[in-house]
A and B are shown apart, each in its own frame.
Chain A
Amino acid sequence: MYDIIGYCEAETVSEATALLAQNPNLRLIAGGTDVLIKMHGGQIEAVELLSLRKIKSLAEIRKAEDGTVVIGAMATFTKVFNDPILREVIPILTEAAISMGGPQIRNIATIGGNVCNGATSADSASSLFALNAQLKLVSQQSERLVPIREFYLGPGRVALKPGEILTEIHISPADYQGFGGQYIKFAMREAMDIATLAVSVVCKLHGKTFEEVRIGLGVAGPTPLRCLEAEVYAPGKDVSVESVAEIGKLAVNSAKARTSWRASKDYREHLVEELVQRALKTAIVNAGGEQLV
Chain B
Amino acid sequence: MFKRIAFSVNGKAFNFEVDIRESLLEMLRNRLGYTGTKKGCGVGECGACSVLIDGVPFDSCIYLAVWADGKEITTIEGVASKSGELSEVQKAFVDEGAVQCGFCTPGLVLTTTALAGSGKEYTQDELKRELSGHLCRCTGYQSILKAAEKSLEGHICTCVDSPHYKQQHERNEG
Contact = CB atoms under 8 A, between A and B. Distances in A.
A126 to B, nearest CB: 15
A91 interface: yes
A108 B58 contact: yes
Contacts of B22: 1-2
B133 A192 contact: yes
Interface stretch (B7-15, B31-39, B62-70, B151-159): B62-70
Contacts of A1: 19, 21-23, 26
A279 B164 CA distance: 13
Interface stretch (B42-50, B77-85, B95-103, B142-150): B42-50
Contacts of B1: 4-7
B42 A98 contact: no
Contact of A33 (B21, B23, B44, B168): B44
Contacts of B135: 192
B132 interface: yes
A40 B44 CA distance: 11
B164 A102 contact: no
Given A3-B21, A98-B162, A101-B133, A107 B42 contact: no
B130 A192 contact: no
A33 B45 CA distance: 10
A62 B60 CA distance: 30
A32 B43 CA distance: 11
The secondary-structure label for the interface of chain B is mixed
Interface string A90-117: 0100110011011111011000000000
Given A101-B133, A103-B132, A104-B58, A2 B23 contact: yes
B137 interface: no
Residue in A1, A41, A102, A108 with the greatest tally of chain B CB atoms within 10 Å: A102
B111 interface: yes
A105 B3 CA distance: 25
B106 to A, nearest CB: 13
A83 interface: no
B20 interface: yes
B23 A104 contact: no
Contacts of A3: 21
Contacts of A9: 66
A32 B20 CA distance: 14
Contacts of B67: 51, 53
Contacts of B56: 107
Given A6-B1, A33-B44, A191-B129, A104 B50 contact: yes
Interface of B: 1, 3, 19-23, 26, 42-45, 47, 50, 56-59, 62-64, 66-67, 111, 129-135, 162-164, 168
Given A3-B21, A105-B59, 19 more contacts: A1-B19, A1-B21, A1-B23, A1-B26, A7-B66, A36-B64, A40-B43, A40-B62, A41-B43, A49-B20, A51-B66, A98-B164, A99-B164, A104-B133, A107-B56, A108-B62, A190-B129, A190-B132, A191-B133
24 contacts: A1-B23, A2-B22, A2-B64, A5-B1, A6-B20, A7-B20, A7-B64, A7-B66, A33-B44, A40-B62, A49-B20, A53-B67, A95-B162, A95-B163, A95-B164, A98-B162, A99-B164, A101-B133, A102-B45, A103-B131, A104-B44, A108-B58, A108-B59, A191-B132
